[in-house]
Structure formats: C-alpha cells, structure tokens
Homo-oligomer: A and B are copies of this chain.
Amino acid sequence: MNVELICVGTELLLGSIVNTNAAYLAEKCAALGLSCYFQTVVGDNEERLSQVLRTAMERADIVILSGGLGPTEDDLTKETVAKVCGRKMELHEPSKKAIEKFFADKESQATDNNWKQAMLPEGSLVLENHNGTAPGIILETGDAKLILLPGPPGELQPMFEEGVVPYLAELTSQAICSQTVKICGVGESRAETMVKDMIEKQTNPTIATYARPGEVHIRVTANAGDRKTAAKLIKPIVKELKNRFGNYIYTTDVNTTLEKSVADLAKANGLTITCAESCTGGLLSARLVNIPGISDIYKSGVVTYSNKAKRRFLGVKKSTLQKYGAVSEKTAEEMAKGASVMLKADVAAAVTGIAGPEGGTPEKPVGLVYIACHVKGKTTVREYRFFGNRSQIRESAVSAALSLMRECILVYYSKVTFGKGES
C-alpha cells in the first residue's frame, strides 16, 4: 500500500516555517510499512489544491493532508476535499459540542467562525482533537482513503498516534511491529558499514538507518498477519544488532533520548552529575536540564569560557593553561576533576575545544575538542575532531560528552567493556 502527503499552507510556500509535519508523517508511515513516493506542498487555494489532490488520489491508496482545517476564511482544505469527492458539508453535532467545551474549559468564548470547524464532509469519520478545536477527518472514497489533519504539530501528532495509527494498521490488514535501536559512540559511516550486509538482504523485516547528531538510530520493521508473528520476526534482527553494537546501544526504546539514558543511569547508581563547559557554553547542561525531574541528580553547572574562570571556578592550574593551553587533554582533565570537587558531584563532564570559525591553528585546528569525564576519582579524557560550522561542532561535542558520560558510568559501576566502536 502506498501513501502520499499533501501539506497545505501559504506559510510553507513562503518558507516562513519548516515543514516538520512532512518529516513526522513520513517517518510514521514508513514505520507502518507504507511506501511514500511523493510529498506535495500547496497553498490555501482551491484550484491548486484540487489539482494536487486529484493527482494524489490517482497515484496513492491513502492521501494524508495536513493544514487548512482552521476557522478562518483562508482555511479551505475540508471544503475542497468535499468538492473533489462530491460530498456535501454538514454540521457534525459532537464536534460542535467539543468546540463549546474547549472554550468553556478555557473560560473564553468561541467566535462565529469557530463553528465552521464543526462543518464536515458527509460520511466523515471524525478524529477528535484534544489539543485544539479543529477535528480531523477520515474520508473513504472509491479511489483513495483521505485523512485530513490539523496543521499545528501539537495537534497533528497526538491525533495521528491516537486515531490514525490504529486505522492504518487495520487498513493494511497487516500487523506492523517495529523497534528502534539507538546507538551512540559509533560514527555514522562506520555504523552503516557494520549493517550493510543486513540491509542488503533485507525483505521482511526491513532495516533502515537514521543519522542523528552524534547518534545513529536503526529501525527494524516487520509485517505479518498478526502482531505476535511480526514481533517474532523482529527479535533475531534486534539480537544480531545487539551482537554487533554491544554496549554502544544505549536504548531500544524509541522514546528514550541519549541525555535521558545518561540521567537514568546516574539515578540508578545514586549519582549526581555536573558539567563544566567552555566551547559548548551551556549547551550540555541545557540538554540535561530539558529532562523533567532532572533536579534529583543535577544541581549546578558552570560555563568557564575564559582561562581565569577555569582557574577560579574549577581550580585548573595556571601552569597547565600556560604549558598546554586551554584546549588540551590536561586542561580538560583538570576541568572535570575540579568540577567534581568544586560543584560537589559524583560525575563531572568537561568540554574544551575550538568551535571556530576563528582561533584555529595548524596544531590545534577548528573542530578539535577535548572531553573529559570524572567518575569517583577516575578521569577519562578523549580527543575529538568534529566537522561543520561553529554550531554543528558544538552540537557534536555535546552528544560526544553525553556518550562519554554514559560509557564512564557503565565502565565504573557495571564493569562493562567497550570495544568495537569509535568516537
């Protein structure tokens, strides 16, 4: 079965916003085993939307449209779909009630145009919107199944999870089962090489790799007559991936992030953590602090951008800075040790490097970063060479630091070994 995406919105055509809905929907559909050959963006214009919709209905079994369900005059996705499919618009009472309730809960009043959102093409299957006022719609026509979703990601995503995934799973009459294996500390090209043979002979399950900053995700997807069989098909593949990547796999749970896995590991071992950052300038702390409830283990961190700050807040020796420079293995080591003592944490990560664009030399080029991790008296330091612009180098350094924290905690507390990976 194949699916086609149509994202409706003038703001997409003007480049005012990035089309994250397309990426979200495409990834979800791929995970459901649906093939997608085309994505189209079109404005809030009846004629052009009709044209695009007719083409998509000829080519695809399922067409997912996002955007244009709102209350304003500009929003005409529903009306256009109704016209193309020869359906009348009719008032949907439960949607009207839901809109009334939405505004009552917010202690505010619906404006006249809000009721437009309760007018739906006849024969619509309604998808409730728990995060906004525009309901979603599934419309089955002779040619294709049409799925209409609201544009805001905060409304589209939960609606897709709750209402569309079960519908598509039943529609494909195939049970789809997928699992994501998340890897850190292994470069993208190396990871791809390590699974090339598996990808080449894949049919069912399929194996796809996704590069994320400092990480690689491998998704294994199987389909079968029932869920149990599909789940069974996945097992040996995931097992083989575990064999190949060993401890570099930080999770097989799609919702767990790298920073979450570090935090969970620290919590499980009763450890507090801290960060001392130079070139990343707070980005490492910021990623950890994005985890709800991090206050249990993260109390404070420092950004020590100047040499003086490195000495004052972390106790880095003047002689070290003079002899080796701020960007050196020795400075990184003293930063991590000092952070552990002065910020009173069991685990301390330190980052110092040259993020560019200026400041590089032939000996210490832009992209050179030293990352240290101190765990209970033992400090591990690594040298990295990152590519890209200032922002990319800093992002890469943050991921590498999280990866190193994870490794050091595991080595110290779980006595595991790391071998096959690379930085």
Contact = CB atoms under 8 A, between A and B. Distances in A.
Interface of A: 12-20, 22-30, 36-43, 45, 48, 52, 55, 154, 208, 210-211, 275, 277, 279-286, 288-290, 292-295, 298-306, 308-309, 312-313, 343, 356-358, 388-391, 394
A20 B22 contact: no
The CB with the most chain B CB atoms within 10 A, among A208, A290, A389, is that of A290
A288 B312 CA distance: 21
A343 B52 CA distance: 59
Contacts of A299: 305-306, 308-309
Nearest to A388: B154
B26 A38 contact: no
B292 A286 contact: no
A26 B39 contact: no
B18 A18 contact: yes
Contact of A28 (B15, B280, B343, B391): B15
Nearest to A208: B14
A24 B15 contact: yes
Contact of A356 (B211, B280, B281, B292): B292
Q: Is the interface of A mostly helix, strand, loop or mixed?
A: mixed
A290 B280 CA distance: 8
B40 A45 contact: no
A30 B15 contact: yes
Contact of A305 (B20, B41, B45, B295): B295
B300 A154 contact: no
30 contacts: A12-B22, A12-B39, A13-B36, A14-B26, A14-B27, A14-B30, A15-B27, A15-B29, A18-B20, A18-B22, A18-B23, A19-B19, A37-B45, A38-B52, A39-B40, A39-B41, A55-B55, A280-B289, A281-B282, A281-B286, A281-B288, A281-B294, A282-B283, A292-B357, A299-B305, A299-B306, A299-B308, A300-B304, A301-B302, A309-B343
B38 A38 contact: no
A286 B302 CA distance: 11
A25 to B, nearest CB: 7
Given A40-B39, A282-B289, A292-B356, A302 B305 contact: no
Contacts of A12: 22-23, 26, 39
Contact of A389 (B20, B154, B211, B394): B154
A16 B154 CA distance: 20
Given A30-B15, A292-B357, A303 B306 contact: no
A220 to B, nearest CB: 14
A16 B43 CA distance: 24
Contacts of A14: 26-27, 30, 36, 208
A40 B12 CA distance: 12
Contacts of A293: 358
Contacts of A286: 280-283, 286, 394
B25 A15 contact: yes
A285 B281 contact: yes
Given A40-B39, A286-B286, A299-B306, A23 B28 contact: no
The CB with the most chain B CB atoms within 10 A, among A22, A286, A308, is that of A286
A290 B37 contact: no
Contacts of A18: 18-20, 22-23
B42 A38 contact: yes
Contacts of A22: 12, 15, 18-19, 41
A23 B17 contact: yes
Contact of A26 (B13, B279, B290, B394): B13
A306 B302 contact: no
Contacts of A288: 281
Contacts of A283: 282-283, 286, 289
B292 A390 contact: yes
A279 B289 contact: yes
A383 to B, nearest CB: 20
Contacts of A289: 279-283, 303, 305, 394
